[in-house]
Amino acid sequence: MTLTVVAQGTFDLLHPGHLHYLEQAAELGEVYVIIARRENVTHKPKPVLPDRQRRDMVAALDPVDHAVLGHREDIFVPIEEIDPDVILLGHDQHHDPAAIAAALDERGIDCEVRRASGRDPRYEGELFSTGDIVDAICRKRCQ
């Protein structure tokens, strides 16, 4: 039996950490990625790239079977529609797994919440954060 796995995030500028996360999701089963809408991102700077561009870029990655934009008002609507077996959180995402599990229970969604592992740099200068990438570009090009 193939599991249905949900991964989610902003995916503003794709980096090796994103790919590692999505590869881990693919090891578990069929991967649905929910891309956060710009207006719903409140825990860090808003994405630079448009919603649909971020969705299209994520959809083009090999580990991804389906990429969808998040709901404008209720983050659980796509989860209800997908009905996953597992929600895989990124290793450094701000979400509290216990709080998500409780919200899923309240909605009657039977789904396991797991956290992905991080990935260590494989070479000097490898960046794993959109903010770090933007900062590096500004240091090198915005003079």
Residue list, annotated binding site for ATP? 10-11, 15-18, 92
CA atoms within 13 A on the CB side of 101: 10
Which amino acid is present at 83? Answer: D
Please state the residue numbers annotated as binding site. 10-11, 15-18, 92
Give CA–CA dist 62/69, Å, rounded.
18
Dist. CA 12–CA 31, nearest whole Å = 19
CB 115 within 8 A of CB 97: yes
- b/e 36-66 (16+ beta carbons within 10 angstroms → b): bbbebeeeeeebebebeebbebbeebebbee
